[in-house]
Structure 1
Amino acid sequence: MYKNKITQALMMSLGFAVAATSFSSFAAQVPADTKLADKQELVRGNGTEPESLDPQKVSGVPESNVIRDLLEGLVNQDSKGNLVPGAAKSWETEDYKTWTFHIRDDAKWSNGDPVTAEDFVYTWRRLADPKTASPYASYIQMTTMANAEDIIAGKKAPETLGVEAVDSKTLKVTLDKPVSYFASMLVHTSMKPVNQKVVEKFGDEWTKVGNYVSNGAYKLDTWVVNERIVLARNENYWDNKNTVINQVTFLPIENQVAAMNRFLAGELDMTYEMPNEHFKRLQKEYPQDVKVTPYLCSYYYEFNMTRKPFDDANVRKALSYAIDRDVLAKFIVGKGETPAYNFTPLATNGLDVEMPEYSKLDQKQRLAKAKELLKAAGYDQNNPLKFNLLYNTSENHKKIAVAISSMWKKGLGVTAVLENQEWKSYLDAKRQGNFDISRAGWCGDYNEASTFLAIMRSDHSQNYPKYSSAAYDKAIDDAVLAKTDAERAADYKDAEAKLAEDMPIMPIYHYVNARLVNPQLGGYPMENPEDNIYSKDMYFIAK
């Protein structure tokens, strides 16, 4: 499976010549006999208001959805998640440590500037620079790009990062360790380029309408905060001639029922999510509109291990064991999600997991064990545990929080005070450590287990629980150095076992992606497990 998923990338990375003409167009592969609709304007529900459209300043899915249409990295994905060229027409490596990318001659920014290798050098240095304070700084460290770790730590200058422009169209990247899937990591939002002269001219204001310069299929046309973001075609995009959709509008609708109603009224072509309680009815009444696809995503709660009593593993395990994941997966979400007892989704390439012992118990046995652990930590009816549970605004998240807090109250006598915050405040609270327990969701940035497991490393910028384990860090480091897939899988197995033992997070379920989609929308990707949707690859079919 792993081999098949990245066949093109491996061919290129091993030095097999793949001519640029073989990949002349990736936008909107419209079947020859398709009659297109006259109006090609897409309206997408996007869950919430993005905190920014700066690719080095964001960490959420709603932001990435918009940025994916505005900015194009060196590589993209097709509808099945296979790697395809983006701003780079080709690339090669001989040892997985030194990579060379060739930028398209006709790649341009929306202001007419050519896209160059220097753009990526500037961008990736910016990502690593502590002055940027990127929530995804650790991502470039995960690539093992030379000196990234020391730059992030402030020990070396950003100019020492292992990336250089050999010439305006040739980018050379040097890694400290061989990473066979490095090209796949470049799909991620944080690795997408920004225009240096625009960023330096406007500073933090560069993302505003009128200032924003993009190199993707679309450009920023309108941004009314908490109302809509509208994108228009970028005539300077290298493959503009093959882009069909002319305009994309993103609506920040946090309430899933409101989004459903607007979809059914014809005001939306694609929802961000679906209301859990309406899923079965919608599936029955509107089967042509309901799309359920695989999704490399995990839903979990994370402990703030810097706060008592969550520095006690007995407390963490007790709360985790008391959650009835089968009830949550089947009845609270109920769209095909599976109960999770490990962090990484089981469909992830190259994963081999031994399920923890508590997963093999029935819920009655888990609850009994949870009571023992909580009592050992000093909590019982005479000294009940009480804490805050943080989640971001969403009816689906609220229903899950209510269900879990009820399980804790009924099973353990524990009180969880629900704390709802809007998206930006929620993200800020997590980054500042202002929470007891927080809802979390992590979606794979590429299809390999390290995209999940690395965030629990002690030095990762998104390790919000502040989990620190030398043994865990070693397992992740060993996986990077592994010479075979089997050795790497064994290291990941060790890492998952350590997470289950220390319980810095409570895995709850592994996602599927369920949303309502206009049946006239062609090109919707049903087999991309990372849910990377490019509006340029879609089109409306005439009724």
Structure 2
Amino acid sequence: MRTRRTRLATITIATALTLSACGSTDSGETSSAESSSVAEDGGGSFSMAVTDPDLLIPGRQSVAFDFAMAVWAPLTFLELDGELTYVQAESVESEDQQTWTITLRDGWTFHDGSPVTAQDYVDTWNTVAYGPNAFENSGQLAAVQGYDDLNPAEGEPGTEEMSGLTVIDDLTFEVELEGPDSQFPLQLSQAQTALYPMPSDSLEDLDAYNTHPIGNGPFELTDDYVEDEPFVVTTYADYAGVAPTTDQITFVPYTDNVTAYTDALAGNVDVASLPTSRMTQAADDFGDQVYSFEAPGISFLGLPLWDERYDDVRVRQAISMAIDRETINDVIYGGQYEPATAFTPAIEPGTPEGICGQYCEYRPDEAAALLEEAGGFVGTMEITYPGGSGLDEFYNAIANNLRQNLGVDAVATPTADWAEFLEVRTNAGIDGPFFSRWGALYPSQQATMRELFLETGGCTNCVPSYPDDVAEAIAAADAAPDDGGESYAAVQELIVEDFPAPPLFFETYGYVTSDKVDELVTSPIGNPRLTHIVLAD
């Protein structure tokens, strides 16, 4: 198995922030010298299996990350060695970690030829944050001053603009946060897609823009997006950054990632994610065309905390201790994952591995006793997960664990597809445990905690627990001087007391490729860096 494990334990947030506070790099380029040299020899095309996105607007997309990172360029970029480099931004500076000045590089354009301006960023961010627009990734802007005014608890907002955004000139804008945040430059990097700019005039018709989005990145969409049909991006000739290594990417929608896997094996698609159900056989099927990227992903067994049967923390702890993570990892994941022992991925600096203690260990007898002590469980425990994602064996194994070890009537039930699952979870239409995971968008505990444990986070009802003391502790950690993640680790002491959902696995992101691909390059967030893919001669 060809393995590319990129553990970010060597990355210090302090190093990245030192770069950001000093302004831009000297080179004026956005990647390493090595990246620039490979770009010079670019050419060719490849295809990638994806879930049909439906939503391509970066502030709305939930499964179109690869497309977004090809069509848009971020303000900053975190390299594998931990260096925070600049892409669309010339500099990101602050004297107090609360008010930040972002200066854009001159000469950058959108795919329609219009210049990328500070006004475009401010207009985009206000559009994404405006509550009535209901942008799925709006929470990525929740820390900007004035965000709450656009998202009042009741009624319509009285304004359409956040007070924390100010245009200084064509290439400069100021961002005032609700409080100091040492992680802000990292938040501007590649996977925070809500922060990507859209041309200001496109905001007048967002439906049309979703059909044919115009970005500022290395690739541009060739034709209008049509649901369930392949969509193609080609290199943008006037891209001001480092040129990609290939000329064209075709994104091929699949409703079943096992079918995509089979097509990759047959050479009908060139890059596909590795389904859970194929992890144990992938090396035999693909040989050295299997990649496993250590990533800031963590899975949980979500619990419907709106259901009073899960009110008692002992019930939640018992469910966790009844799950045999080690055996599931060996039998289903082929040992590629690591049983989780904390509430953020181990790859994120400062994660307090082991903080779960006995509650993340397999202790079936103690689990049964604890459930009985809590008064038992009445009714069916139906575990809901997205169908067509190759997760059947995994959730059936969990259901078997809970049924055998706790004596509850546990069953695993798939939805028709991801869209149906997302709808029922977001609307709290589930009355049993459910699929829950988060892949952080930048390597910091903050990135996981904000999405899962703040009500404004982007993973609605992934872990539906938003206690005030946790929110206050996260804010205090944001404001603390960088300490290698210790401040965020202290937040987990509060989370483990409440134990809102059992952590399951620290994840790797697996991919398989056809023989057309010579090397799949990873990034600090564990996804393939499609602009740097190396094709076989």
Point out the more displaced range, 86-95 or 10-19.
Answer: 10-19
Partner residue, 2:231: 229
Aligned residues: 520
Tell me, in whole angstroms, the C-alpha distance in 2 between the residues paired with 1:282 and 1:428: 32
Q: Deviations over 1:251-308 (max 9, x none)?
A: 22243432222112111221122454x4344324633201112111001121111123
* SS at 2:52 equivalent: coil
* 1:447 and 2:443 aligned: yes
Paired residue type of 1:480 = D
* Cα deviation, residue 26, structure 1: 7.9
Partner residue, 2:4: none
Tell me, in whole angstroms, the C-alpha distance in 2 between the residues paired with 1:313 and 1:412: 15
* SS at 1:333 equivalent: coil
Paired residue type of 1:289 = Q
Tell me, in whole angstroms, the C-alpha distance in 2 between the residues paired with 1:536 and 1:455: 27
Aligned match of 1:410 in 380, 404, 410? 404
* Cα deviation, residue 214, structure 1: 1.8
Tell me, in whole angstroms, the C-alpha distance in 2 between the residues paired with 1:23 and 1:270: 25
Structure 1 residues 484 and 295 mapped into 2: Cα distance closer, same or farther (>3 Å)?
Answer: closer
Paired residue type of 1:346 = A
Paired residue type of 1:426 = F
The answer on whether the counterparts of 1:72 and 1:192 sit within 8 Å (CA) in structure 2 is yes
Partner residue, 1:495: 491
* SS at 2:254 equivalent: coil
Aligned match of 1:397 in 380, 391, 395? 391
The answer on whether the counterparts of 1:353 and 1:496 sit within 8 Å (CA) in structure 2 is no
Q: Deviations over 1:426-477 (max 9, x none)?
A: 1111111111222011011111101112234353343514313233223212
Partner residue, 1:286: 286
Q: Deviations over 1:222-270 (max 9, x none)?
A: 4342242221222232237x23322111122243432222112111221
Structure 1 residues 236 and 22 mapped into 2: Cα distance closer, same or farther (>3 Å)?
Answer: closer
* Cα deviation, residue 185, structure 1: 0.4
Point out the more displaced range, 73-82 or 292-301.
Answer: 73-82
* Cα deviation, residue 113, structure 1: 0.7
* SS at 2:64 equivalent: helix
Tell me, in whole angstroms, the C-alpha distance in 2 between the residues paired with 1:96 and 1:133: 29
Partner residue, 1:425: 420
Tell me, in whole angstroms, the C-alpha distance in 1 between the residues paired with 2:514 and 2:80: 17
Structure 1 residues 523 and 260 mapped into 2: Cα distance closer, same or farther (>3 Å)?
Answer: closer
* SS at 1:44 equivalent: strand
Paired residue type of 1:153 = P
* Cα deviation, residue 350, structure 1: 2.8
Q: Give unmatched runs, 5+ long, in structure 2.
A: 1-7
* 1:324 and 2:324 aligned: yes
The answer on whether the counterparts of 1:15 and 1:93 sit within 8 Å (CA) in structure 2 is no
Partner residue, 1:470: 468
Structure 1 residues 127 and 96 mapped into 2: Cα distance closer, same or farther (>3 Å)?
Answer: same
Partner residue, 1:122: 123
Tell me, in whole angstroms, the C-alpha distance in 1 between the residues paired with 2:388 and 2:425: 17
Q: Deviations over 1:139-174 (max 9, x none)?
A: 212xx3223344333676342331222111112222
* SS at 1:193 equivalent: coil
Tell me, in whole angstroms, the C-alpha distance in 2 between the residues paired with 1:173 and 1:470: 26
Partner residue, 1:93: 94
* SS at 1:287 equivalent: helix
* 1:195 and 2:196 aligned: no
Paired residue type of 1:351 = T
* SS at 2:469 equivalent: helix
Partner residue, 1:175: 177
Structure 1 residues 529 and 483 mapped into 2: Cα distance closer, same or farther (>3 Å)?
Answer: closer
The answer on whether the counterparts of 1:26 and 1:537 sit within 8 Å (CA) in structure 2 is no
* 1:111 and 2:115 aligned: no
Tell me, in whole angstroms, the C-alpha distance in 1 between the residues paired with 2:86 and 2:478: 25
Paired residue type of 1:423 = W
* SS at 1:453 equivalent: helix
Tell me, in whole angstroms, the C-alpha distance in 2 between the residues paired with 1:525 and 1:389: 35
The answer on whether the counterparts of 1:254 and 1:393 sit within 8 Å (CA) in structure 2 is no
Tell me, in whole angstroms, the C-alpha distance in 2 between the residues paired with 1:31 and 1:55: 28
Partner residue, 1:385: 379
Alignment of 1:142-291 (within 5 A): 144-153=143-152, 157-187=159-189, 188-200=192-204, 202-209=205-212, 212-222=213-223, 223-239=225-241, 242-276=243-277, 278-284=278-284, 286-291=286-291
The answer on whether the counterparts of 1:28 and 1:536 sit within 8 Å (CA) in structure 2 is no
* Cα deviation, residue 183, structure 1: 1.1
Tell me, in whole angstroms, the C-alpha distance in 2 between the residues paired with 1:255 and 1:456: 26
Q: Deviations over 1:171-215 (max 9, x none)?
A: 222223222221110121111111221120x23232114xx2221
Partner residue, 1:19: 26
Partner residue, 1:53: 56
Tell me, in whole angstroms, the C-alpha distance in 2 between the residues paired with 1:301 and 1:230: 36
* Cα deviation, residue 2, structure 1: 6.9
Partner residue, 2:3: none
Partner residue, 1:358: 358
Paired residue type of 2:45 = E
Partner residue, 1:370: 367
The answer on whether the counterparts of 2:329 and 2:339 sit within 8 Å (CA) in structure 1 is yes
Partner residue, 2:533: 538
The answer on whether the counterparts of 2:216 and 2:239 sit within 8 Å (CA) in structure 1 is yes
Paired residue type of 1:52 = L
The answer on whether the counterparts of 2:517 and 2:536 sit within 8 Å (CA) in structure 1 is yes
* SS at 1:21 equivalent: coil
* SS at 2:161 equivalent: helix
Partner residue, 1:517: 513
* Cα deviation, residue 107, structure 1: 0.8
* Cα deviation, residue 6, structure 1: 5.5
Structure 1 residues 80 and 397 mapped into 2: Cα distance closer, same or farther (>3 Å)?
Answer: farther
Point out the more displaced range, 515-524 or 395-404.
Answer: 515-524
Q: Deviations over 1:23-81 (max 9, x none)?
A: 4888953459x976xx61121112x21130011123x3x31121111122212344556
Structure 1 residues 191 and 533 mapped into 2: Cα distance closer, same or farther (>3 Å)?
Answer: farther
Paired residue type of 1:14 = A
Q: Deviations over 1:376-421 (max 9, x none)?
A: 34336xxx53132211123532111111011111112222333322
Partner residue, 1:504: 500
Percent identity reads 22
Q: Give unmatched runs, 5+ long, in structure 1.
A: none
* Cα deviation, residue 502, structure 1: 2.0
